Structure 1
Amino acid sequence: MKLSIWSMRLSIVSSEPSPPGFELPLRLLLAFRTIIDELHERIAREGHPDLRPMHGFVFQAIGPHGTTATELGRRLGVTKQAAGKTIDGLEQLGYVERAADPADTRRKLVRLTARGVDCLLRSARIFDELREEWSAALGEEQLRQLEDGLRRLAPGDPFRLDTPRWFGAP
């Protein structure tokens, strides 16, 4: 029955004066996917073809000083085992390394390697380029209004890192 209601709702979208409520989150998700997919196409051409969208969350959660697998899991909202599996994969790709924690030699810190830092720097530049392209397409004033509106409607930390858990990622 939900499918038929969904289908009915889709069939009348074009005749409604304003879009149906379900379109807003879908458009926001599509905009996110558009930006992230373009970032990954460009970053692949610049020497990082193995990265996946989740890896950006992981890099941010590791931070500039490193973290433990347990803390990484907590920041991402996943188990220590899932964090460990992600660390293993990124270590094999050369983006992170494990090292003794200088404050507690019983603990291992996960840190970004030079390759991981390079990826973050390139990503920041590419995000700036993508924003410039959206500004050219929409106009700077309209883009600023969109950004300001989103800040009002979705206040809080834009670096919320537990999003992979929300999408069911490891």
Structure 2
Amino acid sequence: MNAGRRSLPQLLGEARRWFDDALLAALEADGAEQVSSTQLQLFAVLDERGTTVSELARRMGVTRQTAHKAVHTLVTMGLLEQVPHPSSARQLLIRRTPAGRRAHERATQVLGALERTLAERIGGRSVSELRAVLELPWGEPPEPPGPAG
């Protein structure tokens, strides 16, 4: 890797933080309760019909305990609820409450405005190309290389 050149994961992380920071600021300006980046991410990967904590953790790339903690906080805030899983007596589905759906709709509006702002800054074509590249199937992560030597 070139010295001083940021890696692609660093650049993607910075881009993600740009959106998260702006979204959190907009929600705070709206008077919404403060949430963390992890809680934002959880909202983003949640299915409309409900999702198990284990599946949320997998989609977020975090531990089950981290996902559970985020769910618990959002349940306490009244944004999520836990309901019985229709095909498993041992599992619960996590889904948005009416207040959670309103918050999700507002976040979607803000993200659309942020995408338009980004297009004004770097060009609509660049944003479209970025989206197209990120939507390509990357496949499973590759196996780690063998030991150097």
TM-score by length of 2: 0.72
Q: Pick from 88, 99, 117: which aligns with 1:133?
A: 117
Q: Name the counterpart of 2:35.
A: 51
Q: Name the counterpart of 1:151.
A: 132
Give me the whole-angstrom Cα distance separating, in 1, the residues matched to 2:115 and 2:5: 26
Greater gyration radius: 1
Give me the whole-angstrom Cα distance separating, in 1, the residues matched to 2:91 and 2:16: 36
Identical aligned pairs, as a percentage? 26
Q: Pick from 70, 73, 85: which aligns with 1:86?
A: 70
- Alignment deviations for residues 92-113 of structure 1 (CA, whole Å, 9 cap, x no partner): 1111111222334443221111
Give me the whole-angstrom Cα distance separating, in 1, the residues matched to 2:16 and 2:58: 24
* Superposition pairs of residues 64-83 of structure 1, within 5 angstroms: 64-83=48-67
Q: Name the counterpart of 1:12.
A: none
Structure 1: stretches of 5+ with no match in the other structure: 1-5, 10-19, 158-170
1:102 paired to 2:83? no
Q: What letter matches 1:101 in structure 2?
A: H
Structure number with greater CO (CA < 8 Å, separation at least 6) is: 1
Greater helix proportion: 1
Structure 2: stretches of 5+ with no match in the other structure: 139-149
User: How large is the Cα RMSD of the aligned pairs?
Assistant: 2.9
Give me the whole-angstrom Cα distance separating, in 2, the residues matched to 1:133 and 1:68: 34
TM-score by length of 1: 0.64
Contact 2:24 2:34 in 1 (8 A): no
Compared CA separation, residues 108 and 24, structure 1 to 2 (3 A)? closer
Q: Pick from 28, 32, 38: which aligns with 2:16?
A: 32
